[in-house]
Homo-oligomer: A and B are copies of this chain.
Amino acid sequence: MPGDHKPKTANGKIVRSTKQRQAILDILTKQQSHLSAEEIYQAVKITQPRISLGTVYRNLEILTELGSIYRNSFADGKARYESATIGHHHHLVCINCQDIENLTACPMAQDIGNLAQSHDFEPLEHYFEVYGYCGKCRRKD
């Protein structure tokens, strides 16, 4: 059926729209912050009290695959998610208060192009995170 563009996952399954999935996406879109699966679970429970953590993980996986959200693994080994409406960006992570600030500029777009040439490598994604102290925490110490 030409013109039919139902979203599908990598394994070819059609993706349905459920209130659980919509609630998760809503939270990530509204909060505009970097939430862990557990934090998302706690937030979704307000509107969907019977949702399970397993469902949260399954939906985060699907939404990541669809490109609706980004998954980031930071140095603490825990994955955090954010809405993809913000577009490509990087992170300043405070090692004291754990706050994450987004860096809207991507200074290495050009560098990556050069890498492709000099290292025989086809770049698809890249991650750049800076760890340190945010202004607030620096002044507190």
Q: How many copies does the complex hold?
A: 2
Q: Say if the beta carbon of A124 comes within 8 Å of chain B.
A: yes
Among candidates B77, B121, B131, B138, residue contacting A125 with C-beta atoms closer than 8 Å? B131
Q: Indicate if the CB atoms of A77 and B75 lie closer than 8 Å.
A: no
Bound complex: CA of A87 vs CA of B88, how far in Å?
29
Q: Say if the beta carbon of A50 comes within 8 Å of chain B.
A: no
Q: Indicate if the CB atoms of A127 and B127 lie closer than 8 Å.
A: yes
Write out the residue numbers on chain B whose beta carbons fall within 8 Å of the beta carbon of A15: none
Bound complex: CA of A138 vs CA of B74, how far in Å?
28
Name the CB-closest residue of B to A130: B126
Among candidates B111, B122, B124, B132, residue contacting A124 with C-beta atoms closer than 8 Å? B132
Known A120-B135, A123-B131; 5 more pairs at CB < 8 Å: A75-B127, A115-B130, A121-B133, A126-B129, A127-B127
What are 8 A-B interface contacts by the 8 Å CB criterion?
A: A101-B119, A103-B119, A107-B111, A108-B128, A122-B138, A123-B131, A124-B131, A126-B131
Nearest 8 Cβ contacts at the A-B interface: A120-B135, A107-B111, A123-B132, A124-B132, A126-B130, A122-B133, A125-B131, A122-B132
Task: Name A's B-contacting residues (CB within 8 A).
Answer: 73-75, 77, 79, 92, 94-95, 101, 103, 107-108, 111-112, 115, 119-135, 138
